[in-house]
Amino acid sequence: MTGFECRQSFLSWLALEKRASPLTVEAYGTDLASFLGFLTSHLGGEPDLTALVGVTQVDIRAWLASLANDGLVNASRARHLSAVRSFFRYLARHHSAENAAVKLVSTPKTRRPLPRALTPAVACGVTRNIGAMSDRAATKARDTALFTLLYGCGLRIAEALALNVRDAPRPGDDGPLRVVGKGSKERIVPVLPVVRQAIAAWLRLHPAAQPEEPLFLGARGKRLDAAVAQRTMRSYRQQNGLPEHATPHALRHSFATHLLAGGGDLRSIQDLLGHVSLSTTQRYTSVDEARLLEVWRKAHPRA
């Protein structure tokens, strides 16, 4: 069994049994292709299962060094190494091909950047005013509804654009929004009245408001592309002099940061965001600490 056949077997298992998202499978496939391509050159031939068992710490470090020479930062190299470790765990469990070397290589140290939120005034201004970027009434209503949903419910842009008309929260209906997030995991998010009203205003102008139709449509009647929403936000940002980090995803960061500042507990915010690990949500505590420190620096007479 060649290394690339092992890779394909692993990716099939990842997609079919682990039910990983297509983007996750694609990312793992790319990282493993890089690793196996390096081994082909490094070992003088395409590795088979036996050669993979014989890969040493020196080989893996040489591969990581080659990635660094190609300009990959620590975070990217850590992701590549994580994919390779998952690959070798699969080989050990499903093909009895144990290799301890990959466990002994240290992960490149990374420091995840802190989430960068907008101020409450700026975030609310986006939801109220972004519709003015278009002259068409339907586009105004659509963009207002989309960006109000992003900030009001803390959704990822892909999650919002994946919704269909039947999923839309309506005025007078107090039920939560069911969102399918990363890894096809469903979560329940409460919906503010202002979000329901914005979506209702858009649905009144929706050109095909049937239950199975996409909630947010583009100009050609297909599901709205995330690039269009990002471009709209970029134009709004430039027109209003906002910082570069004012993106659709910044509204999700703002949702979490503002909830935390308002007394929300981390576990609840974790559930609302759909984070698997609490440590991911804990990054927002550092954001709040940084904000308090900045207030202290500006306000304290001896700062």
Which residue(s) pair with 177 in the sheet? 189
Tokens 């709040």 found at = 288
All residues at 6 or more sequence positions from 127 whose CB lies less than 8 Å from its CB, including other chains: 144, 147, 148, 151, 152, 194, 198
Long-range contacts of 37-46 (CB under 8 A, 24+ apart): 38/62, 38/63, 38/66, 39/3, 39/63, 40/3, 46/2, 46/3, 46/4
End-to-end CA distance of the chain: 65
Per-residue tokens: 286: 């550092």
State the catalytic residues. 156, 182, 249, 252, 275, 284
All residues at 6 or more sequence positions from 221 whose CB lies less than 8 Å from its CB, including other chains: 207, 208
Residue 180: name the closest of 163, 192, 168, 195 by CA. 163
